[in-house]
């Protein structure tokens, strides 16, 4: 699409929204069913695009992209009519007789900007929320996952209402032009620096934003944890998509006395999952998205104590699952989000030291706690902050659509998934309905002490 076509396209969507067509439950259900049809009918093409962009294997393409999208649609279809209902709340004495409720209403035309690491899901899951809430939407998939972006642009107009949805492909120039337009909400997924750009642009139109950012998600492993299950689960969610997952554990904190058996078990899991050549010939291990990111990740290894892995091949955009022991907390690998297959392991004398290590950093998107010690679990839950927490597993919490997904502080603002997404893309309008009966004179001037006394009593 040409830059000069962007403004009229957005204007067209805005006009279409004003026709009211997108508000009905029937339209929303029809669009959700069409999106499900698209996802299932075109599964092979989606998988092929994900393979070209990231070497994504079939199982991960299903569990984290295609199947994930379908289950989000099914969840929404099942609950949509309930979500759309007015939500009754109590009415205070002073407003009796009367009733009060919250009426969800579509916001209008929204912008969804996706990132490259789960390039299908990160556009489609917010879209499901936007459709459920009755909005028009512009989708801007990441140009870094160019095959998936092109496929989304090709397929969306074939299945969805063309007047309500449009896909705009492109990079900085196109996104900059898009951000000049007036939207009723922007949901952005990506890094913090661009998040600031998005928020600044949104401020011009007083457009609310949901920012789905990243951060360094800590993983605290206590000596009471089941070592075998813990290491399987950490290895699974750290090296899925070669560590290019916003909620992947960024680093592990563990007591010194427990680190040897932990690392031995971890290496055994890596071998079992990715083969004796440490992922180099595994069909199940993704590549790094591009050379810039490959170089960025390799640079983190400079001067570090690599105790396992570390192999890399620029031509294949490959970096092996890698364990780094006790990096300096001030070094880049512990200052920046790794977003790749390197796992620093920080040893401490007592697991209580995990709390200040976590709290000295920006608030992460996720935190993982592996322990059977309820006291430790509660201390970590209460004394640290993170967008989401999973106890005794990795990113399994993402499978529960009843849990809102989003960050806190530097890891983002707002949330989606299930009802949280519906609410994000709705205005929750407060409505009070009074009766003409009992028009008590107390509130009307001229005021006097007696009226004041009664008002104080009524509260
Ligand atoms: P990216 O490079 O794909 O950028 C994200 C989007 O921003 C793209 O659509 C891109 O076109 C757009 N963009 C880039 N530069 C821009 C500019 N100057 N102006 C306007 N738009 C611009 O993705 P990324 O930033 O490399 O994403 C990685 C980050 O995203 C990591 O921090 C990761 O943790 C985070 N992430 C978060 C989530 C989440 O759900 N919270 C999911 C995935 C990734």
Compute the average pLDDT of residues 431-456: 93
Q: Is 175 in the pocket of ligand 1 (CB under 6 A)?
A: yes
> Which residue owns the Cα nearest ligand 1 atom 22?
172
What architecture (CATH level 2) is domain 218-399?
3-Layer(aba) Sandwich (3.40)
Residue indicated by tokens 């007789």: 97
Q: What percent of the chain has pLDDT over 90?
A: 97
Give the β-pairing of 185-189 and 165-167: unpaired
Q: What is the model's pLDDT at position 302?
A: 97
Q: What is the model's pLDDT at position 151?
A: 98
DSSP H or E stretch at residue 369: strand 366-370
Residue 308 tokens, joined:
């396992």
Domains 3-213+412-431 and 218-399 share a fold: no
Which atom of ligand 1 is found nearest the CA of 293? 26
Which atom of ligand 1 is found nearest the CA of 192? 32
Compute the average pLDDT of residues 408-418: 98
What band does 1 get if pLDDT is binned at 50, 70 and 90?
A: confident
219 tagged catalytic? no
194 CA to middle of ligand 1, Å?
7
Q: Which residues pair with 434 in a beta bridge?
A: 98
Q: Which residues pair with 430 in a beta bridge?
A: 102
Q: Is 65 in the pocket of ligand 1 (CB under 6 A)?
A: no
Nearest to 142 by CA among 206, 49, 215, 57: 49
Q: What is the model's pLDDT at position 457?
A: 87
Q: What is the model's pLDDT at position 431?
A: 98
> Which residue owns the Cα nearest ligand 1 atom 10?
142
123 CA to middle of ligand 1, Å?
12
Q: Is 410 in the pocket of ligand 1 (CB under 6 A)?
A: no
The average confidence (pLDDT) of the chain is: 97
Q: What is the model's pLDDT at position 376?
A: 97
What are the residue boundaries of the structural domains of the chain, listed by start?
3-213+412-431, 218-399
Q: Is 117 in the pocket of ligand 1 (CB under 6 A)?
A: yes
188 CA to middle of ligand 1, Å?
8
Give residue-wise pLDDT tens across range 177-189: 999 999 999 999 9
Q: What is the model's pLDDT at position 458?
A: 80
Give residue-wise pLDDT tens across range 282-326: 999 999 999 999 999 999 999 999 999 999 999 999 999 999 999
Q: What is the model's pLDDT at position 459?
A: 72
448: left (phi over 0), alpha (psi -120 to 50) or beta: beta
Cα–Cα distance for residue pair 180/4, rounded to 1 Å: 12
246 tagged catalytic? yes
Predicted confidence (pLDDT) at residue 144 exceeds the cutoff of 80: yes
Q: Which of 246, 255, 377, 390 is catalytic?
A: 246
Non-local CB neighbours of 165 within 8 Å, separated by 6+ positions: 13, 127, 136, 137, 138, 139, 156, 157
212 CA to middle of ligand 1, Å?
9
Cα–Cα distance for residue pair 453/459, rounded to 1 Å: 10
Q: What is the model's pLDDT at position 440?
A: 87
- Which letter, b or e, does each residue of 69-83 get, where b requires 16 or more Cβ atoms within 10 Å of its Cβ? bbebbebbbebbeeb
366 CA to middle of ligand 1, Å?
17
Residue indicated by tokens 């990113």: 395
119 CA to middle of ligand 1, Å?
10
CATH superfamily for 3-213+412-431 is: Aldehyde Dehydrogenase; Chain A, domain 1 (3.40.605.10)
Testing ligand 1's pocket by substitution, the residue of 194, 200, 365, 387 carrying the most ligand atoms inside 8 A of its CB is 194
Predicted confidence (pLDDT) at residue 133 exceeds the cutoff of 90: yes
Give residue-wise pLDDT tens across range 232-290: 999 999 999 999 999 999 999 999 999 999 999 999 999 999 999 999 999 999 999 99
Q: Which of 212, 255, 337, 377 is catalytic?
A: 212
Q: Is 143 in the pocket of ligand 1 (CB under 6 A)?
A: yes
Nearest to 189 by CA among 168, 207, 170, 212: 212
């Amino acid at each position: 699409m040409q830059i000069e076509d962007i403004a009229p396209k957005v204007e067209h969507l805005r006009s279409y929204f004003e026709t009211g067509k997108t508000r009905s439950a029937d339209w929303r259900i029809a669009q959700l069913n069409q999106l499900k049809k698209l996802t299932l009918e075109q599964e092979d093409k989606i998988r092929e695009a994900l393979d070209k962009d990231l070497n994504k294997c079939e199982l991960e393409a299903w569990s984290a992209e295609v199947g994930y999208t379908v289950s989000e649609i099914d969840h929404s279809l099942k609950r949509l009519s309930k979500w759309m209902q007015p939500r009754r709340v109590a009415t205070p004495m002073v407003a009796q007789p009367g009733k009060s409720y919250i009426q969800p209403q579509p916001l209008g035309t929204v912008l969804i900007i996706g990132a490259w690491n789960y390039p299908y899901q990160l556009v489609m899951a917010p879209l499901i929320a936007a459709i459920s809430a009755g909005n028009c939407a512009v989708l801007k998939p990441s140009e870094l996952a160019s095959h998936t972006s092109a496929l989304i642009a090709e397929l969306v107009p074939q299945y969805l209402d063309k007047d309500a949805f449009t896909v705009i492909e492109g990079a900085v120039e196109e996104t900059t032009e898009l951000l000049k337009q007036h939207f009723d909400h922007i949901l952005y997924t990506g890094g913090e620096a661009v998040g600031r750009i998005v928020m600044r642009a949104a401020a011009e139109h007083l457009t609310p934003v949901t920012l789905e950012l990243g951060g360094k998600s800590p993983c605290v492993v206590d000596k009471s944890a089941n070592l075998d299950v813990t290491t399987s689960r950490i290895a699974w969610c750290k090296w899925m998509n070669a560590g290019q997952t916003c909620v992947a554990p960024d680093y592990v904190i563990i007591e010194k006395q427990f680190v040897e058996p932990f690392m031995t078990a971890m290496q055994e899991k890596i071998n079992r999952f990715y083969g004796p050549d440490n992922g180099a010939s595994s069909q199940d291990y993704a590549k790094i998205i591009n050379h810039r990111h490959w170089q960025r990740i390799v640079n983190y290894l400079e001067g570090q104590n690599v105790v396992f892995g570390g192999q890399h091949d620029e031509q294949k955009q490959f970096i092996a699952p890698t364990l780094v022991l006790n990096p300096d907390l001030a070094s880049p690998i512990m200052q920046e989000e790794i977003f790749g297959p390197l796992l620093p392991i920080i040893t401490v004398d007592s697991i209580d030291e995990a709390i200040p290590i976590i709290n000295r950093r920006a608030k992460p998107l996720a935190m993982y706690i592996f322990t059977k010690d309820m006291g430790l679990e509660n201390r970590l839950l209460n004394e640290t902050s993170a967008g989401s927490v999973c106890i005794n597993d990795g990113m399994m919490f993402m499978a529960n659509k009843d849990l809102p997904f989003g960050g806190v502080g530097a890891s983002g603002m707002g949330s989606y998934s299930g009802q949280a997404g519906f609410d994000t893309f709705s205005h929750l309008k407060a409505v009070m309905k009074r009766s003409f009966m009992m028009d008590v004179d107390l509130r009307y001037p001229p005021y006097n002490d007696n009226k004041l006394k009664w008002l104080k009593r009524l509260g």
